[in-house]
Amino acid sequence: MKTVARQIVGVYFVGIFVLIPGLWAATMNGYGGWDSMVGQLQFSNVSNFSTFLMDPSTGTLYLGARDAILAVDSSSLRQKHTQIIWNVPEDKQQSCVGKGKTEGDCHNYIRLLEFVADGRIYACGTYAFDPQCAVINMLDFSLERAEDGSVRMETGKGKCPFEPSQHYTAVMADGVLYAATTSNFLGTLFDISRATGSEGERIRTEQSINWLSDPEFVSSSFIKERSDTGDDDKIYFFFTEVAKEYDLYTKVKVSRVARVCKGDVGGMKTLQKRWTTFLKAQLVCEDRASGQRYNILTNVFTKEHRPGDPSSTQFYGIFTSQWEREELSAVCMYSLADINKVMAGSFKELKKNCENWMNPDPIPNPRPGQCITRALKAAGFESSLKLPDKVLTFVRDHPLMENSVVSAPLLVRRGITYTRIAVTLTPTANSDQGSAAVLLLGTDRGELHRVSVVGQNATLLQEVPLFTAQEPVNNILLYQDQALVGSPLSLARVAAEGCGVYPTCEECARAQVLGCKWSLKEGTCTPILIGPLQVESEDALKLCDTGEARCAPVLKELRVVEGLRVLLPCVQVSPRPCHWEYPPDRHTRQHHAHLEVTVTTASLGSYTCYCEEGRRDGPACRRATYTLTLEGPQVGVSVSLAGSRQVVAVYLFCFMAGVVFGGFLLHLFRKRRGIRHAPEKGRDLLPSSDTPQSPSSTSLLSEGVPLTEKRNGTLNGHGGLYSNAGGLKLQESAANLAEELGSTDRMGRLGAGLGARSEEELRSEDETVVERVDERMDAFRGAPLAQCEENSF
């Protein structure tokens, strides 16, 4: 145990010394040194940051955490921050725990921070599964209090979730809060509501699975869409829910966008205090070439491509797939015009008699779900209260649109899980291409990825590690020329755009389409200020000394042995396909962009992955290259399963022979010394049945020697083998024999009778034991060995 403890301590200290340089490199890599990073140690007893709010007039960043709200100067993160403690009383925490919740969840997790009028902030927290809201005075950064000194609070139900981990979104529109959250303690009821304002103006969704079916809310946006027709402003909600239009054996999740009008006040009789403009449509993110569809939405960023023009709004969403087991992320973009076009289309209806979705006909007039425009007001419909019951009944029963909002992925990454997205627009070097979108993508491993998107071409520019692998990125906020990136424990500030963010020649060459070039004289990435782009991308990569460029990867040599299976990774950024070049005599299998190779003498050689990232007729980009070389057999890797079973059989035979021989030597020793032992002493001579050395212990033999998770010599990173279940009968018989011969009771009786028995009696008994062992071992020798399992990947 001391040896194991010393090894654990050694690994711990090695991890510390490995981690510290990594954090230093991540912090000092061109982003302002330690001033760029605010870690958990600088926030005394504060963690679980979940909400960001930026005051653009002062540059102050407000952070919502567990039991606290912090104010940080974004221009200098090292300056001392101020904080408000807003915790839960002890008796309320105990009551929460008594209802079956964990102590960790029975705190006040701040989930909402939004500006309201007169320099105040509206804040809401879970408050031990009893959501509460309060107002923060920004002048002295304090919670408003009642006359008795207590915090002035109001209920947060419908404004804030009950549980810290529940999916939730909210947005403030002209001082009124619109929220999408759970509305009960159990988390089984869901609402999209106008959560503040006068009591008569508070309306919400209908409690119907046709409106919301077990949704997971993702994001919300307030879009001012007033035009010459007098159209109303709208609030858009993005979420994933269980589809009711698909009648399959399993629950199918789909991504949705829902829309409500800001001026909606509900119906007079039908849909009273309910939305009369609630419409939703499916978001489809699909790669048509491969037929791959990504159906689960995880995050959305709203961006106006032309500032001041709401019609140019684009929504960038991160998707994953319900059907994929491996990590996978895709990014799709949807325009506001495409969403509005679908919302103005036909409705979807479920016919109860045949259980098929069909288009209803006819649609009543005025059109259900539309906002109150000048034309409707001229026709006598001044508000939603004036709408006819047939219109309200129709929109109540048909909230789903027939058509879907379809988009192709801008990029697809396998082996990566993106958690947050932000988008900046940068002029390109080629004026004909307009502007390029630079995607800032946070991962679940604390990294920030930069990807440029020009037309249909996506290029991975940079991967920056910001936090430890256990800290997922949960917030990205853009302010001026910087991006504030947060995790549950830390905060980092990095440059949002500009050529200076690319510290190496290779990264600068990838960003050439953004108007960047590498200055050999200065050793920095500088913008191209005058004239058009003169150097082609491939030529720019050749200017770099090292070969670690986007289309010139480093050759990696892998030393392997025959019979192994190795997986050669290839990073696929664009949704367009990748292909491999390899030796003709081989046994391979492609998993998306990655390649699985079964090592034989004929499969040795060079393997190169090419991915299409530009035009379909353009040259493919070389993303990875490997060479497989053969080395000598390794212990535990090249041994066959048949050999493993023979080794187990020999081991059992030797072990049992050793037990018998040891007992015989013990008998001779006792006879020679003339020592008489009590039964308890006899039991102490055998190992404990709890230890792995004991034949009766299940930890050694009864698990089939599971040295690895792969089977039949498949490499899994540990170089082990998996012994199949066919040898369990042999192991079980050996264990039973060991238990019968080596039981403590028998040895106790043997030790107790040593002095009372004659030498002939003892010799006779020993011969009997040896004969029984020989009989059992003969049975083992004749037992057939189990057949090998079939290879499986």
For residues 549 and 376, what is the distance between their CA atoms, to the nearest angstrom? 60
Helix axes 728-741, 641-673, angle to 10 degrees: 10
For residues 106 and 100, is the Cβ–Cβ distance under 8 A?
no
Of residues 141 and 531, more confidently modeled: 141
Q: Indicate if the pLDDT at residue 82 is higher than 60.
A: yes
Which regions of the chain carry the CATH code 3.30.1680? 498-549
Contact 22, 469 (CB under 8 A): no
pLDDT band at residue 672 under the 50/70/90 scheme: low
- Residue 640: its pLDDT value, please? 35
Residue 98: pLDDT over 90: yes
Kind and range of the H or E element at 289? none
Question: What pLDDT sits at residue 289?
Answer: 82
Chain region(s) in the chain for CATH 2.130.10.10: 203-415
The pLDDT of residue 681 is: 38
Domain ranges in the chain with CATH number 2.60.40.10: 556-630
- Per residue in 544-572, pLDDT (tens digit) is 754 445 677 788 888 888 888 888 888 77
Average pLDDT over residues 11-35: 36
DSSP 8-state assignment for residue 446? S
64: Cβ contacts below 8 Å, ≥ 6 apart: 49, 50, 51, 52, 53, 109, 110, 111, 112, 113, 123, 125
Answer whether residue 784 shows pLDDT above 60.
no
Has residue 701 got a pLDDT over 50? no
Specify the higher pLDDT residue, 253 or 579.
253
The HSE-up count of residue 529 (CA atoms within 13 Å, CB side) is: 3
**Band of the pLDDT at 509, cuts 50, 70, 90?**
confident
**What is the tally of helices (H) and strands (E) in the chain?**
12, 41
pLDDT for 404 equals 96
Q: Tally the residues of the chain.
A: 793
pLDDT higher at 81 or 719:
81
Residue 696 has pLDDT above 60, yes or no: no
Judged against a pLDDT cut of 80, whether residue 682 lies above it is answered with no
Cα 22 from Cα 14, distance rounded (Å): 13
The mean per-residue pLDDT over the stretch 741-766 comes to 47
Choose the weakest-confidence range: 104-108, 125-129, 567-571, 684-688: 684-688
Give the number of other CB atoms < 10 A from CB of residue 754.
17
Q: What pLDDT, on the 0 to 100 scale, is given for residue 712?
A: 35
> What is the average per-residue pLDDT within 705-724?
34
Q: pLDDT tens for residues 240-252? A: 999 988 877 788 9
Percent of the chain with pLDDT over 90: 42
Given this model, what pLDDT does residue 127 score? 96
Q: Which of 130, 124, 37 is nearest to 489 (CA)?
A: 37
Q: What is the pLDDT of residue 124?
A: 97
Helix H, strand E, coil C: the string for 212-254 is CCCCEEEEEEEECCCCCCCCCCEEEEEEEEECCCCCCCCCCEE
Backbone phi and psi for residue 737, each to the nearest 5 degrees, phi listed first: -65, -45
**In contact, 565 and 559? CB cutoff 8 Å:** no
| Cα 712 from Cα 729, distance rounded (Å) | 20
Q: What angle do CA 282, 287, 289 make, to 5 degrees?
A: 140
Q: What is the pLDDT of residues 399-420, one digit of tens each?
A: 999 999 999 999 999 889 999 9
On the question of pLDDT at 533 being above 50, the answer is: no
| Lowest mean pLDDT, pick from 341-350, 416-425, 617-626, 713-722 | 713-722
Say yes or no to pLDDT of 256 above 90: yes
**Banded model confidence at residue 8, pLDDT cuts 50, 70, 90:** very low
Is the pLDDT confidence value at 28 over 90?
no
Give the pLDDT confidence score for residue 552 in this predicted structure. 74
- Tell me the mean pLDDT in the region 715-724: 34
Helix/strand/coil for 91: helix
For 681, which DSSP code? H
| Residue 177 to residue 281: CA distance in whole angstroms | 23
**DSSP state letters, 410-437:** SEEEES--EEEEEEEEEE-SSGGG-EEE
756 or 273, higher pLDDT: 273
Better pLDDT: 511 or 652: 511
18: which residues sit within 8 A by CB, 6+ positions away? none
State residue 246's pLDDT score: 82
Over residues 25-31, the mean pLDDT reads 34
Residue 550 is predicted with a pLDDT of 60
Residue 637 has pLDDT above 90, yes or no: no
pLDDT band per the 50, 70, 90 thresholds, residue 659: confident
Which tens digit of pLDDT belongs to each residue from 284-335?
A: 999 888 888 999 999 999 999 998 899 999 999 999 999 887 889 999 999 9
pLDDT at position 649:
56
Question: Rounded distance, CA 451 to CA 742, Å?
Answer: 67
Give the pLDDT of residue 357.
54
Q: How far apart, in whole angstroms, are the C-alpha atoms of residue 444 and residue 416?
A: 8
Better pLDDT: 556 or 642: 556
Q: What is the mean pLDDT of residues 597-616?
A: 81
State yes or no: pLDDT of 530 exceeds 90: no
> What pLDDT does residue 197 have?
87
- Whole-angstrom CA distances from 744 to 213, 332, 682 are 63, 69, 8
* Burial letters 672-683, b for 16+ CB under 10 A, else e: eeeeebeeeebb
> Tokens in use for 368?
């259900």
Q: Is the pLDDT of residue 761 over 80?
A: no
Quick one: pLDDT at residue 225? 80
pLDDT-based confidence at residue 14 (cuts at 50, 70, 90): very low
Instruction: Indicate left, alpha or beta for 773 from its phi (over 0: left) and psi (-120 to 50: alpha).
Output: alpha
pLDDT mean over 748-757: 44
Instruction: Identify the band that residue 616 occupies on the pLDDT scale cut at 50, 70 and 90.
Output: low
In DSSP notation, 728-782 reads HHHHHHHHHHHHHHS-HHHHHHHHHTTTTS-HHHHHHHHHHHHHHHHHHHHHHHH
Of 413 and 697, which is predicted with more confidence? Answer: 413
Q: Which residues of 163-182 are buried (b: 16+ CB within 10 A; e: fewer)?
A: bbebbbbbbbbeebbbbbbb
Does the pTM surpass 0.75? The reply is no
pLDDT recorded at residue 87: 94
Q: Residue 589's pLDDT is what? A: 81
For 498-549, CATH gives 3.30.1680
Domain 556-630 CATH superfamily: Immunoglobulins (2.60.40.10)
| Percentage of residues in the chain having pLDDT higher than 70 | 70
Q: Which CATH architecture describes the domain 203-415?
A: 7 Propeller (2.130)
Q: In the prediction, which pLDDT does 621 show?
A: 80
Residue 506 contacts residue 550 (beta carbons within 8 Å): yes
Q: Considering the chain, what is the average pLDDT of its residues?
A: 77
Confidence grade of residue 664 (pLDDT, cut at 50, 70, 90):
confident
User: Sorting pLDDT into bands at 50, 70 and 90, what band is 268?
Assistant: very high
